[in-house]
Amino acid sequence: MATTAPSTARKIRFWLVAIFLIGIPVQFYLAGRGVFGAGTYDAHKNVGDAMHAISILVFLVSFFGADMRNARDIGLGFALFAFMTIQAIIPSFKHPDIGALHPLNALIVLGIAVHMLMRDRSFGQGQPAAQASSSA
């Protein structure tokens, strides 16, 4: 059975998501610094803004690879961007019950990003062509 090579766009998306995933534990650390008074939330906000920008790139890159023009890959890219947008909006609400959703939403973002990384990695390992086309 022939194997398909991942597109350049999928390889780019893989590395963007990998960089994005590095930012998640950094964000937890920076938030902890703010909570326990070791610093302000400025660094947490700045890294979050950079991660939001990366999520936009991940979504846009999903349109450029022929092997990613399917509902699952584009949907995952959109979901990452949408949940990061929600993540950026949650702190603007002053109600503590809404603010408490911020770390919960971060776990959802983590799950989406890990799923994308694993999906892109499986294509990099030479997924069989029949399986690649049917996994849409």
pLDDT tens per residue across span 70-108: 999 999 999 999 999 999 999 999 899 999 999 999 999
C-alpha span between 133 and 111 (Å, rounded): 24
User: What pLDDT, on a 0 to 100 scale, did the predictor assign at position 23?
Assistant: 98
DSSP assignments along 16-85, one per residue:
HHHHHHHHHHHHHHHHHHHHTTSS-SHHHHHHHHHHHHHHHHHHHHTTT-GGG-SHHHHHHHHHHHHHHH
Q: Is residue 126 scored above 80 in pLDDT?
A: no
C-alpha span between 1 and 128 (Å, rounded): 6
User: What pLDDT, on a 0 to 100 scale, did the predictor assign at position 2?
Assistant: 53
> Per-residue pLDDT averaged across 2-10, rounded?
83
8-22 residue pLDDT tens: 999 999 999 999 999
> Per-residue pLDDT averaged across 32-59, rounded?
96
pTM here? Answer: 0.87
* Domain boundaries, given as residue ranges, for the chain: 8-126
Residue 10 contacts residue 74 (beta carbons within 8 Å): no
Contacts of 31 (CB under 8 A, 6+ apart): 41, 44, 103
